[in-house]
């Protein structure tokens, strides 16, 4: 990674940035205007215009989505090249005009819809209220001071006037009369009680249900009642009006005789027909406009997003005093520098300016961003690692080993080649259709599964392999490689015979062979162990659980210790690369000694026990290794290695020596170097020579050329060693394997701080050596749980249904078995195993060497503008 400075002519700056973002896409521009607010920057107005256009486009997208239209995706959406200023101005004017037109159509449609639903509700009122009049014989018994025909006449003169307003006008002139309207059904009881109490019972209320109707105010379909309230007196009318308003009742004008009611019904039906035609015409016009927007929405969105990104990048640049040149600084991979220069030459040739862009490397002590090239396959694994933290610049990338270890550890917990086949099939569908799915808008869960399709595929493949080793197919054994035959013997060596007097062969059931727990099993001539995987003869036996528990527990310890050793080895690679040789001898070596003198020794004993066939109790051996060093071997059968008592004493001794080795040498050596530096500084000051005190001087002479200074051409910016540890106020104590031990902050050397820091890391490593090893036993626990749960579903659900000899029970049993397998084992169990594998990599593996305190390389690239926006880089 190299830091370059670009001197760009102002008149061609826009075209240059477009070329770099489109043809190269590998420059991460630094913000040189951090002291300025967003409104003080050179191109703030252009960014504001783009934001306003983006707002309009979001509004259009919402309207298109509500209409049920899908934005068209075509070649224009990803068109290349710069957008001329006049085209951007034209687009801005067009978007403004389209927004104005769409808002007017929305307002008109909303107004017409309200009037239409008011008329529909009035039609319902006329029909049901008329029946109430006829039923109660009160038609014509009410007189009003102003005829409702006058109100109806005004209604005809203004056909679009809201009917609720006409009802209000009628109510104002009424002295003795009635009120008709609609009310939501759930409010009717309370409405009736309040009317009765407010008027002291001086009203006559009739109401009836009309079913579901569209409310003209809320535009929602609700259950409603039609009501007619008869009253006398202005005071009652005022109270009734207020109660109707409080309950949100819609009031409508209603004639007081049959002839007028019939006339109004005819008028309302005619107005409804007219409004239907008007509304349909408005809907067609609005839909045509939205279809035009949908056809161009993707193209316009991409165009505006690109322009905003360009101006946002230009705002990161400085303007020289002449205002003719923009100065930019950017991180670029060394391998891409030639491509950048080529793009700059092509951009200059295509522009009208006579000035060319000048690119020069810059020396800087800043830590460069971390950049790992990934493919479709490795990107998801890299994402798993970076979810924990971004690697420090030029630090070992854990994703390289994670490509294999993550699906392998998952498979150890999920091993069943029947379930693996289902997982592989699901992942294969995602991989085969990845191009189609990549163009679609996926839901949150499906998008997550699509992003991890290659992880799922690898987990399925490894689960198939481990399932063959476990010999489990939906929890049942499959005899693929044969099985072993055994003969059972008494402790005195005599062969056990069955009731027929024949030797017991092929049985390891303790009911037949009491000595099975003591290992008195022999293979007859012509028999041999199974060549691959677990022996199927153990399945279904009483000793099955103890046998598989023993194997999987020991296998988990072997895998865990090996995995942790790889983590510590990665710290060695970091220290060698950063030339931090002090951390190698003061941290890496004692860490390897401590871990392997105890748990590495346990792994050796496990392998020897398996190979020799001895019955040594490893619990007994390891406990007495600490309680009674050199003792606990009264029974010679407990000895697996010649000279084992003395070997254990030696291993225990070097394990104890490794603890102060991790704790003391590094802080003391750093203190000695600091004192030597101070003495040299004092002597040089007397001689008149200025020396700069820095933490790089704490390193030996052969380390200084990599003390963290970034150099053009691929220096080690953000490097390691003592300088890196000091720059971050952090040191490489136990478990980190690199870094300089923490030299305080801001150039101040504090021996007490370094000592405390080293003590914390030493204690942490010693405790983690025990707890992390025990943590890998989750591999055994999850594998056992998966196997037993699958066995319960198979035996108690599927086989129980088949044994019933009932076709209905078989169908139901298979359905329950399939749902349990897919829902519990394939979803819940796989998610559990995934999370446990994730923890083992983040804590037990990466915790041994991974700093994860870097920052990601996020270049300016038109292809990933959406990701840059989500990350806040734009």
**Cα distance between residue 434 and residue 428, in whole Å:** 10
The CA distance from 685 to 307, in Å, is: 57
List CB contacts of 418: < 8 A, sequence separation 6 or more. 467, 472, 473, 474, 475
Residue 867 domain-assigned? yes
Positive or negative torsion for Cα 645, 647, 649, 652: negative
Pick from 730, 717, 778: which is nearest to 559 by CA?
778
Q: Is residue 418 part of a domain?
A: no
Question: Which residues are paired to 176 by β-bridges?
Answer: 232
Most confident of 116-125, 147-156, 605-614: 605-614
> pLDDT category, 494, cuts 50, 70, 90?
low
DSSP 223-256: EEEEEEEEEESHHHHHHHHHHHHHTT-EEE---S
Instruction: Note whether residue 107 is domain-resident.
Output: no
Look at residue 370 and give its three-state secondary structure.
strand
Residue 94 within any structural domain of the chain: no
| pLDDT 10s digits, 259-296 | 887 888 888 888 888 888 888 888 899 999 999 999 89
pLDDT the model gives residue 81? 53
* 863 assigned to some structural domain: yes
Please say whether the beta carbons of 369 and 29 come within 8 A.
no
Confidence of residue 546 (pLDDT cuts 50, 70, 90): confident
**pLDDT over 50 at 726, yes or no:** no
Local structure of 206: helix, strand or coil: strand
In 3-state terms, the chain is what percent helix, strand and coil (to 5)? Answer: 60, 10, 30
- pLDDT band of residue 501 (cuts 50, 70, 90) is low
863: three-class secondary structure by DSSP: helix
What are the DSSP calls for 527-566, one per residue?
A: ----SSSS-GGGTTSTTHHHHHHHHHHHHHHHHHHHHHHH
The residue that leads in pLDDT, 489 or 112, is: 112
List pLDDT tens digits, range 643-697.
Answer: 888 999 999 999 999 999 999 999 999 999 988 888 888 877 666 544 444 444 4
Which pLDDT does position 148 carry in this prediction?
44
Reported for 864-871, long-range contacts at CB under 8 A and 24+ positions apart, including other chains, are 864/25, 865/305, 865/306, 865/309, 866/305, 868/309, 869/305
List alpha helices for 616-750, DSSP H: 618-627, 644-663, 665-686, 721-727
Q: Do 474 and 507 form a contact (C-beta atoms < 8 A)?
A: no
pLDDT tens profile 398-445? 999 999 999 999 999 999 999 999 999 999 999 999 989 888 878 889
Contacts of 481 (CB under 8 A, 6+ apart): 530, 531, 532, 533
Distance CA 417, CA 480 (A): 13
Give the span between the Cα atoms of 182 and 188, in whole angstroms: 10
SS3 assignment for 30-79: CCCCCCCCCCCCCCHHHHHHHHHHHHHHHHHHHHHHHCCCCCCCCHHHHC
Within 13 Å of residue 822, how many CA atoms lie on the same side as its CB? 7
Does the reported pTM lie above 0.85? Answer: no
Contacts of 66 (CB under 8 A, 6+ apart): none
DSSP 267: H
Distance in angstroms (rounded) separating the CA atoms of residues 215 and 116: 10
pLDDT tens per residue across span 4-20: 999 998 888 888 999 89
Q: How far apart are CA 810 and CA 804, in angstroms?
A: 8
Segments forming the whole domain that contains residue 359: 1-32+317-369+857-873
Q: Residue 682: phi, psi to the nearest 5?
A: -65, -45
Cα gap 104→98, rounded to integer Å: 10
Compute the chain's Rg from CA coordinates.
41
CB 368 within 8 A of CB 856: no
Give the pairing type, strands 318-319 and 325-332. antiparallel
Q: Would you say residue 51 lies in a domain?
A: no
Q: Could you give the angle at which helices 85-136 and 258-314 cross, rounded to 10 degrees?
A: 160
Q: What total number of domains does the chain contain?
A: 1
Phi, psi at residue 387, to the nearest 5°?
A: -65, -25
Question: Using the 8-state DSSP alphabet, how is residue 735 labeled?
Answer: T
Average pLDDT for 520-544: 70
Distance (Å, rounded) from C-alpha 524 to C-alpha 506? Answer: 10
Helix (H) / strand (E) element for 9: namely strand 2-9
Cβ–Cβ under 8 Å, residues 846 and 852: yes
Torsion, Cα of 642, 648, 654, 658 (10° steps): 130
DSSP secondary structure letters along 576-634:
HHTT-HHHIIIIIHHHHHHHIIIIIHHHHHHHHHHHH-----HHHHHHHHHHSTT----
* Average pLDDT of the chain to the nearest whole number: 81
DSSP string, 130-155: HHHHHHHT-TTS---SS-HHHHHHHH
DSSP state of 389: -
Residue 1 lies in a domain: yes
Q: What is the CATH number of the domain that holds 323?
A: 3.30.70
437 domain residue, yes or no: no
What lies within 8 Å, CB to CB, of 792 at 6+ separation is none
pLDDT for 292-309, tens place per residue? 999 899 889 989 999 999
Asked whether residue 711 carries a pLDDT value surpassing 80, the answer given is: no
- In the prediction, which pLDDT does 742 show? 43
| pLDDT, tens digit (0-9, with 9 covering 90-100), for 758-772 | 999 999 999 999 999
Residue 206: pLDDT band by 50, 70, 90 thresholds?
confident
**From CA 586, how far away is CA 203, in angstroms rounded?**
98
Whether 761 and 735 have beta carbons less than 8 Å apart is answered as yes
Whether residue 114 contacts residue 148, with contact meaning beta carbons closer than 8 Å, is answered with no
Distance CA 532, CA 478 (A): 12
List, in sequence order, the alpha helices (H) in 315-393: 337-350, 379-388
Residue 96 has pLDDT above 60, yes or no: yes
Question: Per-residue pLDDT averaged across 577-603, rounded?
Answer: 94
């Amino acid at each position: 990674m190299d830091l370059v400075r670009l001197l760009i002519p102002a008149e061609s700056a826009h075209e240059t940035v477009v070329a770099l973002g489109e043809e190269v896409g590998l420059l991460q521009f630094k913000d040189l205007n951090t002291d300025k607010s967003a409104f003080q920057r050179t191109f703030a107005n252009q960014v504001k215009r783009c934001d306003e256009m983006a707002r309009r486009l979001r509004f259009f997208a919402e309207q298109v989505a509500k209409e049920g239209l899908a934005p068209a995706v075509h070649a224009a959406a990803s068109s290349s090249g710069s957008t001329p200023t006049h085209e951007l101005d034209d687009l801005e004017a067009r978007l403004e005009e389209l927004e104005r037109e769409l808002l007017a159509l929305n307002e008109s449609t909303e107004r017409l819809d309200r009037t239409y639903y008011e008329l529909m509700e009035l039609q319902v009122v006329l029909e049901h209220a008329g029946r109430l009049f006829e039923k109660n014989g009160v038609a014509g018994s009410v007189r009003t001071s102003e005829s409702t025909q006058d109100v109806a006449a005004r209604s005809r003169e203004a056909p679009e006037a809201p009917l609720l307003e006409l009802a209000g006008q009628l109510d104002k002139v009424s002295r003795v009369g009635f009120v008709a309207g609609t009310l939501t059904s759930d409010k009717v009881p309370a409405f009736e009680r309040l009317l009765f109490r407010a008027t002291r019972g001086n009203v006559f209320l009739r109401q009836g249900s009309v079913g579901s109707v569209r409310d003209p105010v809320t535009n929602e379909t609700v259950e409603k009642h039609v009501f007619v309230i008869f009253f006398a007196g202005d005071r009652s009318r005022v109270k009734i009006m207020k109660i109707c308003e409080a309950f949100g009742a819609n009031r409508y004008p209603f004639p007081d005789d049959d002839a007028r009611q019939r006339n109004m019904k005819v008028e309302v039906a005619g107005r409804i027909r007219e409004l239907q035609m008007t509304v349909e015409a408005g809907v067609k016009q609005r839909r045509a406009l939205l279809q035009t927007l949908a056809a161009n929405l993707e193209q316009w969105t991409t165009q505006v997003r690109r322009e905003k990104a360009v101006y946002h990048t230009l705002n990161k640049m400085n303007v020289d005093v002449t205002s003719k040149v923009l100065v930019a600084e950017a991180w670029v991979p060394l391998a891409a520098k030639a491509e950048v220069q080529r793009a700059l030459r092509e951009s200059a040739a295509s522009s009208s300016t006579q000035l060319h862009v000048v690119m020069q490397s810059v020396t800087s002590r800043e830590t460069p961003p971390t950049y790992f090239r990934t493919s479709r396959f490795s990107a998801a694994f890299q994402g798993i690692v970076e979810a924990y933290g971004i690697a420090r610049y030029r630090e070992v990338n854990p994703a390289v080993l994670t490509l294999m270890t993550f699906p392998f550890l998952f498979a150890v917990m999920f091993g069943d080649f029947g379930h693996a086949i289902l997982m592989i099939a699901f992942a294969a569908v995602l991989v085969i259709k990845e191009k189609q799915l990549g163009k679609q808008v996926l839901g949150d869960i499906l998008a997550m599964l699509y992003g991890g399709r290659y992880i799922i595929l690898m987990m399925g493949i490894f689960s198939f392999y481990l399932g063959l080793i476990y010999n489990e197919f939906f929890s049942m054994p499959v005899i693929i490689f044969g099985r072993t035959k055994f003969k059972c013997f008494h402790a005195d060596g005599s062969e056990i015979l069955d009731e027929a007097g024949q030797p017991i062969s092929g049985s390891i059931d303790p009911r037949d062979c009491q000595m099975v727990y003591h290992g008195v099993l022999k293979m007859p001539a012509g028999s041999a162990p199974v060549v691959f995987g677990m022996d199927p003869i153990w399945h279904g036996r009483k000793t099955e659980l103890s046998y598989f528990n023993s194997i999987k527990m020991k296998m988990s310890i072997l895998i865990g210790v090996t995995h942790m050793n790889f983590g510590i080895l990665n710290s060695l690679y970091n220290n060698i690369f950063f030339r931090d040789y002090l951390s190698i001898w003061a941290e890496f070596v004692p860490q390897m000694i401590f871990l392997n003198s105890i748990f590495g020794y346990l792994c050796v004993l496990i392998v020897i026990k398996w190979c020799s066939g001895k019955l040594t109790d490893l619990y007994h051996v390891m406990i007495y290794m600490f309680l009674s060093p050199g003792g606990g071997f009264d029974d010679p059968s407990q000895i697996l290695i010649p000279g084992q008592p003395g070997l254990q004493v030696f291993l225990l001794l070097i394990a104890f020596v490794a603890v102060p080795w991790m704790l003391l040498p590094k802080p003391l050596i750093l203190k000695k170097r600091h004192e030597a530096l101070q003495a040299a500084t004092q002597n040089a000051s007397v001689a008149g020579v200025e020396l700069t005190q820095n933490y790089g001087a704490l390193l030996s002479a052969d380390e200084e050329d990599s003390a963290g200074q970034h150099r053009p051409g691929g220096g080690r910016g953000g490097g390691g060693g003592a300088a890196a540890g000091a720059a971050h106020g952090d040191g490489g104590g136990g478990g980190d394997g690199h870094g300089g031990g923490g030299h305080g902050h801001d150039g101040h050397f504090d021996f007490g701080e370094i000592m405390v820091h080293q003590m914390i890391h030493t204690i942490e490593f010693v405790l983690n050596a025990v707890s992390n090893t025990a943590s890998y036993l989750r591999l055994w626990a999850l594998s056992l749980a998966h196997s037993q749960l699958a066995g319960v579903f198979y035996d108690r659900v599927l086989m129980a249904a088949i044994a019933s000899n009932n076709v209905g029970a078989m169908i139901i049993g298979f359905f329950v078995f399939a749902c349990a397998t897919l829902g519990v084992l394939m979803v819940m169990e796989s998610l559990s195993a995934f999370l446990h594998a994730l923890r083992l990599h983040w804590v037990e593996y990466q915790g041994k060497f991974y700093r994860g305190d870097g920052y990601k390389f996020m270049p300016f690239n038109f292809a990933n503008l959406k990701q840059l926006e989500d990350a806040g880089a734009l």
